[in-house]
Amino acid sequence: MKHTVCFQPYNVCVEVENGEILLRAAMEAGVHINASCGGEGVCGKCKIILEEGELDSVRGASQSEEDWRLGFRLACQSRVLSDVTVRIPPESLFDKRILRMKPKAARLRALPFDTAELRAAGRYNPAFQKKFLQMPSPTLADNVCDLRRLRETLKKRHQLDNITVDFFLTRKLAEVCRQEDFAVTTTLDFAQRRSRKPRLVNVEPGDTTGRHFALAVDIGTTTVWVRLLDLVEGAIVDELGEYNAQISYGEDVISRIIYAAKSGGLERMQQLVVGTINSVIQALLKRHKLSTEDVSHLTLAANTTMTHLFLGLDPKYIRLSPYTPTLCAIPPVRARDLGLELPLHVYIYCLSNVSSYVGGDIVSGVLGSGMYQESKLTLFIDIGTNGEIVVGNRDWMACAACSAGPAFEGGGIRFGMRATHGAIEDAGINPETFEPMIMTVGLVKPKGICGSGLINLLASFMETGLITPDGKFREDLDTPRIRQGDSGREYVLAWAAETQIDQDIVLSEVDIDNLMRAKGAMFAGYVTLLEGVGLQITDLEQVILAGAFGSFINIENAIMIGLLPDLPLENYQFVGNGSLLGATCMAFSREMLEEERRVALMMTNFELSDTPGYMDRYIAALFLPHTQMDFFPSVTERLRR
Amino acid sequence: MKHTVCFQPYNVCVEVENGEILLRAAMEAGVHINASCGGEGVCGKCKIILEEGELDSVRGASQSEEDWRLGFRLACQSRVLSDVTVRIPPESLFDKRILRMKPKAARLRALPFDTAELRAAGRYNPAFQKKFLQMPSPTLADNVCDLRRLRETLKKRHQLDNITVDFFLTRKLAEVCRQEDFAVTTTLDFAQRRSRKPRLVNVEPGDTTGRHFALAVDIGTTTVWVRLLDLVEGAIVDELGEYNAQISYGEDVISRIIYAAKSGGLERMQQLVVGTINSVIQALLKRHKLSTEDVSHLTLAANTTMTHLFLGLDPKYIRLSPYTPTLCAIPPVRARDLGLELPLHVYIYCLSNVSSYVGGDIVSGVLGSGMYQESKLTLFIDIGTNGEIVVGNRDWMACAACSAGPAFEGGGIRFGMRATHGAIEDAGINPETFEPMIMTVGLVKPKGICGSGLINLLASFMETGLITPDGKFREDLDTPRIRQGDSGREYVLAWAAETQIDQDIVLSEVDIDNLMRAKGAMFAGYVTLLEGVGLQITDLEQVILAGAFGSFINIENAIMIGLLPDLPLENYQFVGNGSLLGATCMAFSREMLEEERRVALMMTNFELSDTPGYMDRYIAALFLPHTQMDFFPSVTERLRR
């Protein structure tokens, strides 16, 4: 159920889900309300007056009974239960000039196709399908072997000839056939991958055609996600994530590679991630009362290092120039052979890698987003520790990894942190008072700043004129928030008393410099790939954002700081976890399972460090938004306002 | 080196190998010499006089110095060292009438093709071949993954596109590539089996194209044989056999099936035979200073039960009507997955079974003998515990297992035994004195009679008129050798004092009856299969004998008793161990590896017990040689002589 929230005196309205926190609605609407405790309700600054409608509010400790009766509520302590009108009290007001409606984010696409529609049209065609078979019982005159009986019935009833059979399957065949008097359900893989022939995947007694599941797995350096897919319905049933247990041996791929080089290290890394996957799968199946026997196959995407570690391939050459992985296209592997607690019939279909730093997770996003079928010139971006980028369309694709560093994950930023409890995820600056409005993950007192918070804050600094285009704080401003710190000048986002860490949370010029390097590396990457084929950044027609990060950031602000190219917002799309997306598509669509290798081969990899002109373009991008302002017309416009 | 041995006064000569035992030469020549101790030299009966040439003789305990000086030697204690002429002393002579030259046995064919000839003509084409590759070293501008580098070089240098790759191989790829600076030897499987694409089997550092071996394995119910094959030369290097360790759980397939049904029994059976194969392979490779890494693949043939037990498939339905095996065509299986101590790249290619009692060993013989390409109407026979028979030619084939029972392996015969040390393997009767000439395996005192001995003895009984066509001893003969025993009348082949067992070794009418049932079951089988397609036994154009038994028996005598059809001896061929033969051919010839499934499918199986007319034909065959003498014109002729 949705409600409309209108903010007075601006008369700005925004639509939100039932139960949404009012402070978030204000952020969404681009309405500034002073807020400095992150949403915990202790600073008492984010007061509003309820004029109409229903809010579920908690009364703050600092609020008098009188205030409460007058309709004063704390925005961070109020949930929207109906259409409401609220008024921002004068002390929280700021100049109407910079008020703006935040754009509607392009909808996240769960899948590039509608399985229900495909099923209705008879075009839902997953590679793995179940077929029920009633075989004739054997007699002395017809006593061919069980496998041949099965083959002959498949041929007769389903016109399926010359299927291939995995040996281990035959060990249970005799009993399965006889359990329900030669009535069995076969699972077949129709993907023309190694062979042109359908492959017999599994055989079960009786009719189990109504139960058929697959698992799509994304092994992130940080998190492992598993999706449970219903292949009969073509539906995503559920998904579950857990930290990749390798994380105790280092947060980034490089430290994992180094650990894997130690004696027994590779085996340890392999077992750790397999352990994580096993526990997630187990929890997911248990939640839905399913058995591992109901699963016919597993699709998987991961970056190149994660893929290698999962497969037990030593990734050491990934780290050494000239950065050669062992495997890009990955043969199907029996899940059990890698230690997964799944039946022998379950094989893993891995998305192909392109190069050492453009992995199967990116190919998965390109596949799942449909970029490889687009006529428009498209930029695909996945921002994580590294930023991976792909430009092109259905005719060609170029890709690269930008050594952006982990700045957008909080790395190299003094108070940077991941987007966990207490991280400032959204922030704005009052252009007159230079007071901040902050909101944290979990609506608690702040502990630090995560990527989306950093982008929004930097954009606010630019917009309010707190910083100059080279990332330095202006020295002529009269606010206690800007001061000289240990690492140059800094802005105090939260005072020690308002935090969980009993220190002032600040963003310094050194931090800003690191953010500029990170966004500069990305932008120089786009430009280099485009100019490599004679195109300009302005030729781009659309941008696809993948990754958790892509889903949380404010695109306009990311454009503002020069991280994303300056395209109209309607030309941006989120695909969320691109790695899971492509893996899901492969389970639901035979064509996509067959296409993925071709897609990976289409993607020409560039080593940016070795590509002429990259360094110059990088230096040109170390400016807010960029030295070439004509790359950013909308930002120029916004700054002028 | 060969020598000619001439026997006087018959003036019969025979060619023998240097060092051959003179008694065997006499047997070969069809010359009777009294002999009753089996060849141990203790009865002193097989005396001959050396007239010319050189013998290496041991002086028997019973021989006087005078005799020795006069040239008397014991035939069983003398080895032929040059061309010799010997004279049979009068007391050993018998009527010249029945003297006959034993026919030259058709030569055993080691292979149906000549690999040297094929190599010379450029037509030697094993499915598995090695290709040396010098790949370009990776650079930043060319840093594709190792596997793609290998694929691209294979394509460029050898026009090999789209190879398939086993996952496990990739685990060593990075190190193998870098060991000799990207010079590697690939092993490829060109057989179009599961896929139309060549399969990358192995990759080794440097150039190892000169070393390439395969193993051909025959799992017999009794013995496991392994052949070492040099794929570069196309040569059989060596072979080695060992008792199948399952034998301690029963000598025949039925007792193994019963044991396998017990808890843990199947696993035990599987591990036992795998243990035997492992030890034979190890010994064979050690003998030739080879490593398991030099082996690219393994071909294997066995009867249906042995195949099932080896693969870990429960064979219980093989024994229960309607006798359905689980698998006939067997998918390739990784050797390591079954417990064989071979590298991960080694897969096993099993010959297909046809039915529960016509197994891969028979298909192997049909393949290796080339029967499936013959235009002549051919009978293929493998006599063991069961007798398996195939009739047909390149257009059609019918096959069956005859429940002949183990009579020809000595089973059900009071003094029957396998062809081991002390078994009477050849025997003849003096037509005047009815005294026997016997020779044992190992030339020691007799312990019993093996299959070839039984056939030869029975033929001698017929020829000398000791028995009537219904298998009964004539009652009018004046010889102490025939007497009334516990199981009817019997012939004493060796007196207790001449044996190792301190009992008279006899052959009774009950024994003869069992032999007639066994040969009758076989013969009725041939006739049933032939008449089933409207043909007669007399339409047969050739006979192929497989199996150890087939190699040792005297064909003429086997025809005499009605076990084999009455064809001229030149139309008989031995192929020896047919199971090893086909498995060897599959390793040497891509075409045969590709053909074997088709060959198995060509073979239509008949369950004789369920085939109309079989029982009548069986009863008609319980006669020596048969109730229909027109089936046996040469025997009629021989008996008349």
3-state SS, A362-373, equals HHHHHHHCCHHH
Contacts of B139 in chain A (CB under 8 A): 322
Contacts of B167 in chain A (CB under 8 A): 311, 330-333, 337
User: Which of A42-46, A219-223, B622-626 bottoms out in mean pLDDT, i.e. has the lowest?
Assistant: A42-46
Contacts of A142 in chain B (CB under 8 A): 322
Amino acid A161: pLDDT: 87
Residues A90-106 have a mean pLDDT of 47
Residues A452-466 have a mean pLDDT of 93
Residue B416 is given by DSSP the state: B
- Apex A501 CA angle, A496 and A505, nearest 5: 50
B337 part of contact set with chain A, CB < 8 Å = yes
| Contact by Cβ (8 Å): B381, B537 | no
Residue B94: pLDDT over 60 = no
Q: Comparing C-alpha atoms, which of A71, A26, A65 is closest to residue A53?
A: A71
B307 part of contact set with chain A, CB < 8 Å = no
> How far is residue B231 from each of residues B197, B237, B576, B589, measured CA to CA in Å?
21, 10, 22, 10
> How far is residue A436 from each of residues A343, A439, A451, A509, measured CA to CA in Å?
55, 10, 17, 17
Amino acid B44: pLDDT: 79
Confidence of residue B92 (pLDDT cuts 50, 70, 90): low
Percent of chain A surpassing pLDDT 70 = 96
DSSP for A437-491 reads: EEEETTSS---EE-HHHHHHHHHHHHHTTSB-TTS-B-SS---TTEEEETTEEEE
Residues B355-371 have a mean pLDDT of 96
* Average pLDDT of chain A to the nearest whole number: 91
Q: Comparing C-alpha atoms, which of A158, A182, A197 is closest to residue B331?
A: A197
Contacts of B607 in chain A (CB under 8 A): 140-141, 143
| Contact by Cβ (8 Å): A64, A81 | no
Handedness of CA B42, B45, B51, B52 (dihedral sign): negative
Amino acid B547: pLDDT: 84
State phi, psi for A44 to the nearest 5 degrees: 70, 15
Q: Which two tokens stand for residue B483?
A: 């007497």
Q: For the whole model, what pTM was predicted? A: 0.85
Helices (H), B78-138: 115-120
Map tokens 């978030």 to a residue: A24
Residues B603-627 have a mean pLDDT of 95
**3-class SS string, B333-392:** EEHHHHCCCCCCCCEEEECCCCCCCCCHHHHHHHHHHCHHHCCCCEEEEEECCCEEEEEE
C-alpha span between B438 and B405 (Å, rounded): 25
The tens digit of pLDDT for each residue in A239-275 reads 999 999 999 898 889 999 999 999 999 999 999 999 9
Amino acid B312: pLDDT: 97
Alpha-carbon Rg for chain A in angstroms: 28
C-alpha span between A221 and B320 (Å, rounded): 55
Q: Comparing C-alpha atoms, which of B422, B465, B461 is closest to residue B445?
A: B422
Amino acid A195: pLDDT: 63
The tens digit of pLDDT for each residue in A105-133 reads 455 566 888 888 888 888 899 999 999 99
| B 106-145 residues inside an 8 A Cβ radius of A | 138-145
A320 part of contact set with chain B, CB < 8 Å = no
Residue B385: pLDDT over 90 = no
Q: Which two tokens stand for residue B97?
A: 């009438």
Amino acid B184: pLDDT: 98
Amino acid A515: pLDDT: 94
* Separation of CA A606 from chain center: 23
> How far is residue A75 from each of residues A33, A61, A81, B199, measured CA to CA in Å?
8, 14, 13, 66
Decide which of B195 and B599 is more confident: B599
Q: Comparing C-alpha atoms, which of A194, A291, A397 is closest to residue B192?
A: A194
Map tokens 């020829």 to a residue: B463
- For an interface test with B, which of A142, A170, A606 has the most B Cβ atoms less than 10 Å from its Cβ? A170
Amino acid A582: pLDDT: 96
C-alpha span between B173 and A314 (Å, rounded): 10
Selecting from A147, A326, A329 the residue whose C-beta is nearest the C-beta of B327 gives A147
Map tokens 């257009």 to a residue: B395
C-alpha span between B10 and A638 (Å, rounded): 124
Percent of chain B surpassing pLDDT 70 = 96
The tens digit of pLDDT for each residue in A308-359 reads 999 999 999 999 999 999 999 999 999 999 999 999 999 999 999 999 999 9
Confidence of residue A96 (pLDDT cuts 50, 70, 90): very low
Amino acid B87: pLDDT: 87
> Which chain B residue has the Cα nearest residue A317?
B174
Query: Are the beta carbons of A166 and B331 separated by less than 8 Å?
Result: yes
Residues A504-515 have a mean pLDDT of 95
| Contact by Cβ (8 Å): A48, A22 | yes
Residues B186-213 have a mean pLDDT of 90
Alpha-carbon gap: A353 to the closest alpha carbon of chain B (Å): 9
**By CB neighbour count within 10 A (0-12 exposed, 13-18 middle, 19+ buried), where does A546 fall?**
buried
Cβ neighbours for A442, distance < 8 A, ≥ 6 positions apart: A39, A421, A422
C-alpha span between B42 and B20 (Å, rounded): 19
The tens digit of pLDDT for each residue in B284-313 reads 999 999 999 999 999 999 999 999 999 999
Residue A91 is given by DSSP the state: G
Contacts of A356 in chain B (CB under 8 A): 143
ipTM confidence: 0.85
Amino acid B617: pLDDT: 96
Amino acid A50: pLDDT: 92
Confidence of residue A374 (pLDDT cuts 50, 70, 90): very high
Element (H, E) at A216: strand A213-219
> CB pairs below 8 Å between A and B: how many?
149
Confidence of residue B193 (pLDDT cuts 50, 70, 90): low
The tens digit of pLDDT for each residue in B542-576 reads 999 998 777 778 899 999 999 999 999 889 988 88
Q: Which two tokens stand for residue B589?
A: 């010839």
Is A409 in a helix, a strand, or coil?
helix
Selecting from A175, A317, A326 the residue whose C-beta is nearest the C-beta of B147 gives A326
Selecting from B173, B174, B195 the residue whose C-beta is nearest the C-beta of A194 gives B195
Query: Are the beta carbons of B323 and A143 separated by less than 8 Å?
Result: yes
C-alpha span between A471 and A510 (Å, rounded): 9
Selecting from A171, A312, A328 the residue whose C-beta is nearest the C-beta of B145 gives A328
Confidence of residue A621 (pLDDT cuts 50, 70, 90): very high
State the first-to-last Cα distance of chain A, in angstroms, to the nearest integer: 36
Q: Which long-range contacts (CB under 8 A, 24 or more apart) does B468-473 make?
A: B469/B623, B469/B624, B469/B625, B470/B623, B470/B624, B471/B509, B471/B512, B471/B513, B471/B515, B471/B516, B471/B623, B471/B624, B472/B509, B472/B512, B473/B509
- Apex B296 CA angle, B295 and B302, nearest 5: 85
The tens digit of pLDDT for each residue in B242-298 reads 999 999 898 889 999 999 999 999 999 999 999 999 999 999 999 999 999 999 999
Contacts of A328 in chain B (CB under 8 A): 144-145, 147-148
- For an interface test with A, which of B194, B269, B324, B330 has the most A Cβ atoms less than 10 Å from its Cβ? B324
Confidence of residue A194 (pLDDT cuts 50, 70, 90): low
State phi, psi for B300 to the nearest 5 degrees: -150, 140
C-alpha span between B571 and B559 (Å, rounded): 13
State phi, psi for B140 to the nearest 5 degrees: -60, -30
Amino acid B192: pLDDT: 76
The tens digit of pLDDT for each residue in A404-456 reads 778 888 888 999 988 888 999 888 888 888 988 888 888 889 999 999 899 99
| Contact by Cβ (8 Å): B557, B515 | no
Q: Which two tokens stand for residue B72?
A: 């008397």
B327 part of contact set with chain A, CB < 8 Å = yes
| A 490-519 residues inside an 8 A Cβ radius of B | none
Residues A474-503 have a mean pLDDT of 91
Query: Are the beta carbons of A170 and B327 separated by less than 8 Å?
Result: yes
B330 part of contact set with chain A, CB < 8 Å = yes
The tens digit of pLDDT for each residue in A146-159 reads 999 999 999 999 99
Residues A211-239 have a mean pLDDT of 96
Residues A41-46 have a mean pLDDT of 80
Residue A102: pLDDT over 60 = no
Alpha-carbon Rg for chain B in angstroms: 28
- For an interface test with A, which of B169, B323, B327 has the most A Cβ atoms less than 10 Å from its Cβ? B327
